[in-house]
Amino acid sequence: MTASIDDSPVQIAPKYRLGRWTRPALGLLLPLALAVFWELAVRFGLSNGRLVPPPSVIFTTFSDLWQTGELQAHAITTLWRVAAGFACGVAAGTVLGALAGYSGLLHRLVDPTLQALRSIPSIAWVPLFILWFGIFEASKIILIAVGVFFPVYLGVMGAVISVDRKIVEVGRVFRLSAFGMIRRILLPAVLPAYVIALRAGLGLGWMFVVAAEFLGASQGLGFLLVDGQQLGKPAQIVAAIVAFAILGKLTDWLIVAATTPLLRWQDVYGAAHQDS
C-alpha cells in the first residue's frame, strides 16, 4: 500500500490540479483572445489592418504561400542552413568545451581567447565573413556556426568543470583511464547541462540565420521577411515569422524529445512540472 503511494509522481496541491487538456489550453487563452480582438477590430472598421494584418489575412497569405510550394522551399533552405551551422557549431563547441573543462592547461591556453571573442557581437563578423567566404552559403553557415558555438562551448566547459568531485573520485577508485573517465563519468554527468546548452545554441542558430539571410539571400524565410518589407506585404512578413516560430519550436522540441529518455534518471525539482 505504501509503495503505491510512494511510486505516484510528485503531486501539486489538489486545488491547483487542472484537467489534462485545461492546463495547455490556459496558455492559449491570451494569444487567442488578442487574435479575436484584432480580427473583430478590423472587421468593424476600427482599423484598416494594412500595417497590422488581421489573423484571417495572415492565414490566407500563409496558405497561399504553402499551396504554391514557396513557403516549403524557403523553409527547407533555411532549415538546411540552420542544420549545417548548428552541426558545425555544436561539434566545435563540444570538443573545445570538453577539452577546456577537462584539462587545466588547455583551459588556460584556450579559454581567455574564446571569452574575448565571445564578447564580440557575432553580427560584427558579417562584413569580414562576406569578404572571406563570399556572399553565398559558406559565409551564412559559418555565421550561424559561430552563433551556436559559444553557448555550447560555455555550457560544456562549465558543466565539465563543475562535475561533482565525489563522483569523479568514484571513477578514480575504479582506476578509469582518461577516456573511461570521460565516457563513463564526465559525459553522463554533464548531459543535463549539455541539453540546455544545445537548446540555447539552437535558439541562437535561428537568430543568426535571419541575420545571415538579410544579407543578399534569394532563398530562405529571412529572404521572405526582407521581400515582404520591400514590397510592402506585412502579411507575408508575419507569415514568415509564424513559420520561424513553428520551426524553432519544433526543432527545440526535437532536441528535448530525443534527450528525455537519456535523462530519466534525474532527481530534480523540475520533474514535478515538466509536463506543464
Partner 1 sequence: MLDINHVGKTYPNGVRALDGVSLTVNLGEIVVVVGGSGCGKSTLLRLVCGLDAPTDGSIRLDGTLISAPHERIGIVFQEPRLLPWLSVARNVGFGLEDRPRPERTSRVAAQLARVGLSDKARVWPRELSGGQAQRVALSRALVTRPEVLLLDEPFSALDAFTRVDLQDHLLDLWADQRPTLLVVTHDVDEAIVLADRILVMRARPGRVQEEIVIDLPRPRDRQSAAFDFAKRRVLNALDHSLDRRARAGDAETVLDEGAARWW
Residue 185 near partner 1 by CB under 8 A:
yes
Asked if residue 11 binds partner 1 (CB under 8 A), the reply is: no
The residue (of 188 and 234) whose beta carbon lies closer to partner 1 is 188
Closest approach of Cβ 119 to partner 1, in Å? 33
Stretch that binds partner 1, among 36-44, 122-130, 147-155, 262-270 (CB under 8 A): 262-270
Please tell me whether residue 79 binds partner 1 under the rule CB under 8 A.
Answer: no
Alpha carbon of residue 201 to chain centroid? 6
Nearer to partner 1, 96 or 98 (CB): 98
**Contact track, partner 1, 135-174, x by CB under 8 A:** -------------------------------xx-xx-xxx
Please list every residue from 189 through 248 that binds partner 1, using CB under 8 A. Answer: 189, 191
Q: Which of 60, 266, 274, 276 binds partner 1 (CB under 8 A)?
A: 266
- Asked whether the beta carbons of 148 and 204 are under 8 A apart, the reply is yes
Instruction: Candidates 15, 20, 175, 273: give the one binding partner 1 (CB under 8 A).
Output: 175
Q: Is position 70 an interface residue for partner 1 (rule: CB under 8 A)?
A: no
Least CB distance to partner 1 at residue 192 (A): 9
CB atoms within 10 A of CB 111: 18
Cell matching residue 115: 571569452
CB of 111 to partner 1, least distance (A): 23
Query: 94 Cβ partners below 8 Å, 6+ apart?
Result: 152, 153, 156, 194
Tell me the residue length of the chain.
276
> Can you give the binding site for partner 1, defined by CB under 8 A?
166-167, 169-170, 172-175, 180, 184-185, 188-189, 191, 264-267
